[in-house]
Structure 1
Amino acid sequence: MVGDILNGSCLCGDVEYQVRAPFLRFAHCHCSRCRKATGTGYATNLYVSPDHFEWTSGRDFVVRYDLPTAASFSTTFCRNCGSPLPHHTRSGREIVVPAGSLEEVPRHELQGHIFWDSRAEWTTANDKLPKYSEMPDWW
């Protein structure tokens, strides 16, 4: 996995990026903020170190939103098409990569469902991944 390079982009293609292994974590998040930010039942995110991420085009189209009522929640999106895009955590220690924006499949095993107890009632999971009621201690 070390050295794997994945490409990603927004829906309209104006923003492109590259992310390089090793990947820190890979999980489905069911918290209400991720659900609202994606408009789906959960967000599937890959986490990397900032030095393993690079915008390759369209950086000027990237807009960041920091939720004022949250200590750590942020989202980034393309100002043209609204697609979710990678963003630095507020601490700056990691990049959160929306897995659906990747062109290739990451060669990193999904580690589970986080904030499972906050999931939408209509959400199901037919996989054997671990389900954590909140953020696991190892996160």
Structure 2
Amino acid sequence: MSHIHAGSCLCNAVTFELEGEFTKFFLCHCSRCRKTSGTAHCANLFASGATLNWLSGEDKLSFYRLEDTNFARTFCSVCGSNMPTDAKARGLVVVPAGCLDTEVDITPQAHIFMDSKGNWDENLGDIPTYEGLPS
């Protein structure tokens, strides 16, 4: 059975379709992911052997690879949204969960690189939650 996932950036300049199944879902707290996301972690899905098709805006994509590492990011040059990275050499596509417009049928499997998490990333589950912006 083939799984088709669709996604886009915030400004909708870039749209894509991914054919394949997500086999891993990690919340990465490494300093690199924190810097590129501006948050406590990146939520990345991994699809081995998937096919990534850019439907629009491929010319709007920018790519960054941190020298001498496997760390790379693809992002919209207009709005800055993280977009999928086709890591052909590794045989997988890495998809930021937040750029998907379709449902994800897998839940996060682990928090990773917790040894480099931000010092403020403690007991986040203990703070109040709101349906919207608090008054």
TM-score scaled by structure 1?
0.81
Per-residue CA deviation, residues 8-29 of structure 1 (Å, 9 max, x unaligned), is 1011000001123421211100
Matching residue's letter, 2:62: V
**Higher strand fraction: Structure 1 or Structure 2?**
2
Aligned-residue offset at 1:33? 0.3
Structure 1 pair 90–74 and aligned structure 2 pair: CA distance change class (3 A): farther
RMSD across aligned positions (CA): 1.7
> Given that residues 7 and 16 in structure 2 are in contact (C-alpha distance below 8 angstroms), is that contact kept between their aligned partners in structure 1?
yes
Matching residue's letter, 2:101: E
Aligned-residue offset at 1:5? 1.8
CA distance, structure 1, for counterparts of residue 54 and residue 91 of structure 2:
17
Matching residue's letter, 2:102: E
Which consecutive residues of structure 2, in runs of 5 or more, have no partner in the other structure? 126-135
1:98 aligns with 2:96: yes
TM-score scaled by structure 2?
0.83
Moved segments of 4+, more than 6 Å: none
Matching residue's letter, 2:51: H
> Given that residues 21 and 50 in structure 2 are in contact (C-alpha distance below 8 angstroms), is that contact kept between their aligned partners in structure 1?
no
> Given that residues 28 and 113 in structure 1 are in contact (C-alpha distance below 8 angstroms), is that contact kept between their aligned partners in structure 2?
yes
- Percent identity over the alignment is 40
Aligned-residue offset at 1:90? 7.0
> Given that residues 72 and 90 in structure 1 are in contact (C-alpha distance below 8 angstroms), is that contact kept between their aligned partners in structure 2?
no
Q: How many residues align?
A: 124
Aligned-residue offset at 1:92? 4.0
Report the secondary structure of 1:11's partner residue: coil
> Given that residues 50 and 95 in structure 1 are in contact (C-alpha distance below 8 angstroms), is that contact kept between their aligned partners in structure 2?
yes
What's 2:2 paired with?
3
CA distance, structure 2, for counterparts of residue 41 and residue 55 of structure 1:
28
Aligned-residue offset at 1:4? 2.8
Q: 1:85 aligns with which of 80, 83, 86?
A: 83
Which consecutive residues of structure 1, in runs of 5 or more, have no partner in the other structure? 127-139
Structure 1 pair 121–11 and aligned structure 2 pair: CA distance change class (3 A): same
Matching residue's letter, 2:39: T
